[in-house]
A and B are shown apart, each in its own frame.
Chain A
Amino acid sequence: DQQVKQNSPSLSVQEGRISILNCDYTNSMFDYFLWYKKYPAEGPTFLISISSIKDKNEDGRFTVFLNKSAKHLSLHIVPSQPGDSAVYFCAASFSDSNYQLIWGAGTKLIIKP
């Protein structure tokens, strides 16, 4: 049973436009959410996180939105740059599980010049 779902395997966006990556979850116990970015032949790198007590967190070009009632979070990248082309993973955790990460399958983002 997939607790964290990223339903879009890939997304193609024009350079300079907004990229929106989506993630849905089923476990209402999750209280901490993260986005990781992965380039080929490298390990995932942390991008941005959000606690369940917030509905938005911003860091430069990256903003994560959390909609707890819909069990949905999204990552917005504005403006999109060629270096943003990578696989993006959404992950969730909760304090009772010692913050072990449950990951989505990832979305491959392609930024077109």
Chain B
Amino acid sequence: ETGVTQSPTHLIKTRGQQVTLRCSSQSGHNTVSWYQQALGQGPQFIFQYYREEENGRGNFPPRFSGLQFPNYSSELNVNALELDDSALYLCASSLSAGGPYEQYFGPGTRLTVT
């Protein structure tokens, strides 16, 4: 059984650019959640996708957007990058949504915005 994978591992971008981060969910999971973890803080919920539809969103501006594909892999897109977007971005998959399903995390993508 393959776990959650994320790509790339590290990324350096310039302020104002756009970035796409990718996540492959664990086999059999149809729900993906994305989190932003700034240094020294806990993860903050960005949004969740369930069966290709957005299923909840945290307090993040619209320049943070996502997609989930028919194979349940997912992308996180961030437009007009700001310095404060520098963080570890974590993706987690779960068996389903709407219940206290265990979330399985990938190793994250470290984004640095200069």
On whether the beta carbons of B48 and A4 are closer than 8 Å, the reply is no
On whether the beta carbons of A43 and B90 are closer than 8 Å, the reply is yes
On whether the beta carbons of A49 and B43 are closer than 8 Å, the reply is no
On whether the beta carbons of A4 and B105 are closer than 8 Å, the reply is no
Min Cβ gap A96→B in Å is 11
Q: State whether A97 and B103 are in contact (beta carbons under 8 Å apart), knowing that A44-B90, A102-B45, A105-B42 are contacts in the complex.
A: no
Instruction: Decide yes or no whether B98 CB sits under 8 A from chain A.
Output: yes
A80 CA to B81 CA, complexed, in Å: 42
On whether the beta carbons of A100 and B90 are closer than 8 Å, the reply is no
Instruction: Decide yes or no whether A25 CB sits under 8 A from chain B.
Output: no
A8 CA to B35 CA, complexed, in Å: 22
Within residues 57 to 113 of chain A, which ones have a CB less than 8 A from any CB in chain B?
89, 91, 93, 97-106
Within the complex, which residue of B48, B101, B105 is in contact with A45, where a contact is CB–CB below 8 Å? B105
Within the complex, which residue of B4, B41, B43, B100 is in contact with A93, where a contact is CB–CB below 8 Å? B100
Specify which chain B residues have a CB less than 8 angstroms from the CB of A93 in the assembled complex: 100
Instruction: Other than A98-B98, A103-B42, give 16 A-B pairs with Cβ distance below 8 A.
Output: A43-B4, A43-B92, A43-B105, A43-B108, A44-B105, A45-B105, A51-B100, A89-B43, A97-B56, A99-B98, A99-B101, A100-B33, A100-B45, A101-B103, A102-B45, A105-B41
Q: Which residues of A contact B (CB under 8 A)?
A: 4, 6, 9, 32, 41-46, 49, 51, 89, 91, 93, 97-106
What are 7 A-B contacts defined by CB distance under 8 Å?
Answer: A6-B42, A32-B100, A46-B103, A51-B100, A97-B56, A98-B55, A105-B40
Q: Which residues of B contact A (CB under 8 A)?
A: 4, 33, 35, 40-45, 48, 55-56, 58, 90, 92, 97-108
